[in-house]
Amino acid sequence: MIPTKMSDVGQSWDSLKEEMIRRGHDDAKWREGKTAVYVFNAGEDVSRVQREAYTLYMSENGLGPLAFPSLKQMEEEVVSIALHLLHGPEESTGNITSGGTDSITMAVKAARDFAREERNTPGQPNVVMPHSAHPAFDKACHMMGLEKRRIKVGKDFLADVGEMSQACDENTILIVGSAPSFPYGLSDNITALGELAESRGIWLHVDACVGGYIAPFVRMNGVDIAPFDFEVAGVYSISADLHKYGYCAKGASTVLYRSGELQKHMVFDCADWPGGRMITPTLAGTRPGGAISAAWAVMNYLGIEGYREKQKQVTEARQIIEAGVKSLGFELLGRPQLGIMAFTHSKLDVFAIYRQMYKQGWFTSLTTEPKALHLMLSPFHRTVTETYLSDLSAAMKIVEAGEIESIGEARYS
């Protein structure tokens, strides 16, 4: 990259704003419902609450609870709501982080430090997880020098608890389960993983970054959602993203612990420097006040009734698309219950279909094992399901006629 020289004289905000709008012209059209990844569109009213609540505290810093007790109070209330939704016991606690990767990293760090103090691991510590677990665990292991052991999922695309059990040894400090996994939108058997963790005395983390703020409301709407949170005794920590199905402003997630005794292993405390003692609960030092205030505002704006309605729109959109893609000859991967779904085709190249859908303005995602189209649905998608299915049918005909080539690979960067 060639360094760009800063302009000698500043420009007017009007001209800068116009340029910013121009630059966004070719971005994914998420406001039209054509994006099924990265953005969670819960409607303009929620977006307005996000914006206004964020700007009210955009200059405040979550690093300074003494200076900004308002942020401390809002964070505690958001975490308390999360713990109530996810069956946290009386001694449970947690923090707001910058996103799912931050939450996962801090949970891995806590599990590692817990093992150092509470368990005698004679060799290199390792983390056992299903192949479907998020790459954030790989990143955390890389940063902390931990061995990662990814275990193939079963034919049902869920964690193979038996194979994971065999992979555990005296150096295993953490077991991972997803609720649900990103590639398939399916929740692992957390009850069985909890039993494994308890029997071996190993920390179990549930990655509910996707499901944490949708599954409780889908359950309230009458769907039989299996236990996946602190309701399972073996679960020590949970990651759940506020900026996904919590519909809060980016970047905001929560990392939650069964007790303060477990959470204390996450906290970084440094007094050996000239600036005085610094305590940071998460990876970041400075934490944007706007992300905390927006999370508090959105959760209180929607309430249980609002979330139930939003999540009903998500599951209705998924059910309509499920029926539609089946009628087009696709096969669903597993039995999704929340907002993610993946579906493959036995005769057509789904990557070629994806490319044609992209040309038609759709920015979605892909699953590579097996090759499948992948959707992460938002409430707004309930209004564009028929458009999506119509465009998908048209794309299939173009691919069937051999008029478009496949893409090389699926990637997120």
| pLDDT, mean of residues 125-132 | 98
Query: Which residues, 6+ apart, have CB-to-CB distance to 398 below 8 Å?
Result: 356, 404
Does residue 357 share a domain with residue 241?
Answer: no
Of 299, 328, 359, which closes a domain?
Answer: 299
Q: What is the pLDDT of residue 409?
A: 59
Domain span at 244: 52-299
- Identity of residue 177: G
Whichever domain contains 362, its CATH number is: 3.90.1150.10
Does residue 320 share a domain with residue 289?
Answer: no
Does residue 376 share a domain with residue 330?
Answer: yes
Residue 35 lies in a domain: no
Does residue 286 share a domain with residue 243?
Answer: yes
Of 239, 273, 299, which closes a domain?
Answer: 299
Does residue 308 share a domain with residue 288?
Answer: no
Does residue 326 share a domain with residue 193?
Answer: no
How many other CB atoms are found less than 10 A from the CB of residue 142?
11
Q: What is the pLDDT of residue 327?
A: 97
Does residue 335 share a domain with residue 189?
Answer: no
pLDDT band at 127 (very low <50, low <70, confident <90, very high): very high
Q: What is the pLDDT of residue 168?
A: 97
Does residue 158 share a domain with residue 89?
Answer: yes
Of 246, 280, 299, which closes a domain?
Answer: 299
Does residue 91 share a domain with residue 149?
Answer: yes
How many other CB atoms are found less than 10 A from the CB of residue 116?
13
Residue 116 lies in a domain: yes
Q: Does the pLDDT of residue 330 top 90, yes or no?
A: yes
Residue 280 lies in a domain: yes
Q: Which residue has the higher pLDDT, 109 or 285?
A: 109
Residue burial 149-158, b: 16+ Cβ < 10 Å; e: rest: bbbebeeebb
Residue 43 lies in a domain: no
Q: What is the pLDDT of residue 59?
A: 86
Question: What pLDDT, in 10s, does the model give residues 34-48?
Answer: 888 888 999 999 999
Question: CA-CA distance, 314 to 214, in Å (whole number)?
Answer: 9
pLDDT band at 413 (very low <50, low <70, confident <90, very high): very low
As for how many domains the chain has, the answer is: 2
Angle at 381 between CA 130 and CA 213, to 5 degrees: 45
Residue 104 lies in a domain: yes
Residue 273 lies in a domain: yes
Residue 129 lies in a domain: yes
Whichever domain contains 165, its CATH number is: 3.40.640.10
- Identity of residue 243: H
Does residue 219 share a domain with residue 101?
Answer: yes
Q: Which of 222-226, 269-273, 405-409 has the highest mean pLDDT?
A: 222-226
Write the DSSP assignment of 261-300 as a string of letters.
HHHTTT-EEE--STT--EEESSS-SS-BHHHHHHHHHHHH
Does residue 268 share a domain with residue 156?
Answer: yes
Angstrom CA distances, 145 to 33, 71, 118, 128, 275, stand at 41, 34, 19, 14, 30
Question: CA-CA distance, 250 to 39, in Å (whole number)?
Answer: 10
Strands (E), 46-193: 93-97, 126-130, 147-151, 172-178
Residue 308 lies in a domain: yes
pTM of this structure: 0.93
Does residue 288 share a domain with residue 163?
Answer: yes
Q: 3-state SS of the chain: helix, strand, coil percent to 5? A: 40, 15, 40
Peptide bond into 180 cis (omega under 30): yes
Q: What is the pLDDT of residue 26?
A: 86
